[in-house]
Amino acid sequence: MNSPKKATSALISVFHKDGLEPIVQKLNALGITIYSTGGTEKFIKELGINVIPVEDLTSYPSILGGRVKTLHPKVFGGILSRRENENDVSQLNEFNIPEIDIVIVDLYPFEKTVLSGASEQDIIEKIDIGGISLIRAAAKNFKDVICVSSMNQYPEFLQIIDETNGETTLEQRKRFAAKSFAISSHYDTAIFNYLNNDEVTFRQSFDTVSTLRYGENPHQKGYFFGDLESLFDKLHGKELSYNNLLDVDAAVNLIQEFKNDTPTFAILKHNNACGLAQRATLKQAYLDALAGDPTSAFGGVLISNKEIDADTASEIHKLFCEVVIAPSYTVEALEILKGKKNRIILIQKNIKLPKTQYRTALNGVLFQAKDTKTDDASVITTSTFEEPTNKELEDLLFASKICKHTKSNTIVLVKDKQLCASGTGQTSRVDALNQSITKATHFKFNLNGAVMASDAFFPFPDCVEIADNAGIKAVIQPGGSIKDQLSIDYCNEHKMSMIFTGTRHFKH
């Protein structure tokens, strides 16, 4: 059943010709008849190799500006015919259709055309019809035909025919068929997601995969599906782990809130910010971010919204950290940071981040629009007699940005655009507040004049009372509880200001 089949003919029609020449040369040396079309035919002729135009096979020209070239029974019959089926063989003879044993076809670069910002007309012209039909036909008939559907498969295919003089096994053909259907499925998904505007459905596909050392824990397998190179340039260090990637994702989304601000530095651990500060210089921003929780910073992920210079790098180098991310680095800074061989150094490219999120749940997938709403002065209302000062308002909005990217239930304490502490992932908002106050006190922060942000409303006045006793006099929260007035009354009685944003920012 797995006996090798020797090829006698091949159809080659590709968009990407890099790496194709040695395959064509080998097929020619093996005496395999080559059929081709358009630019590929010209490419093969320029190599001085005999090639039969598909038009000569079909007795029909390429029409409609090249939209129809290979869609013909003399092409598809030769690919789909079952070699051991007497009726199929008889019909091939009757209609003078040659068997085609090798199909080397790729697809128009639809996704790249979309990303390039091309017009809709140009994008639509990159929806491949003939190519994807040839791929599906050849992959379906893998018992007799091998389908090479991507330039990434050229090296493996060349090695096979080089070692076997053009023979392939059923196992090899089936493996290439699986790859072909993966490519066609991914291609159709990309087209659907481009065209679909209103149908609620879930279609995702990634054609690149990285095998991770392990998953969340060493006994779990882990993989990353996606193209990290489109988002980062990796300059140094070991491979990113599963947990690294989760922290990097959290870091990238958090720093996006401060993208166009003055120098801002954040340190994250287990997807939460344990330090964040905004200052006149990046070095000071880093030092003040580190002061927020120097214990948790150990082994963390560091991210900056500005180029990292030598002074900042010298301070970072004193800390053991897994990952450093920035839009750029000076030459001197990079040399300093490379002093730790395993430290991962990334340049974040300026590309748009996804606007949707999904995760597995039970036997399905939860899908939602990303929380892209950022609280600012235009959406807030003051609910108390006291108005926050301008300085307090700046800190409140700063704290709200951090709060949005912290695991719920959370309370965030900020003073002078520095994260003093946060309570993260607590089952009670009171617990989150007590945790944040305890941490801030432990790291010697004076909370008099600090502000408090909450990701959700207060159903009771206990949180504003605890905050008041700690010296906090300004609060930002979504509002919306049927008992909002209890917290408002406490603030009014104790000369605290509290503003409502109208937007909850749960993060689970």
Contact 412, 419 (CB under 8 A): yes
In order, the DSSP letters of 292-336 are: T-TTTTTTEEEEESS-B-HHHHHHHTTS-EEEEEES-B-HHHHHH
Catalytic annotation present for 270: yes
Catalytic residue from among 26, 140, 186, 338:
140
Pairing of strands 223-225, 344-348: unpaired
Cα separation of 386 and 373, whole Å?
Answer: 26
With H, G, I as helix, E, B as strand and everything else as coil, classify residue 88: helix
Q: What's the number of CA atoms in the CB half-sphere (13 Å) around residue 229? A: 3
Catalytic residue from among 16, 174, 186, 270:
270
Catalytic annotation present for 221: no
What residues are paired with 102 via a beta bridge? 10, 146
Contact 354, 206 (CB under 8 A): no
Contact 436, 427 (CB under 8 A): no
Q: Please enumerate in sequence order all residues whose Cβ is within 8 A of that of 219, keeping only pairs 6 or more positions apart, or say none.
A: none
Instruction: Break the chain down into helix, strand, coil percent, rounded to 5.
Output: 40, 20, 40
End-to-end C-alpha distance for the chain, whole angstroms: 52
Q: Which residues are catalytic?
A: 140, 270
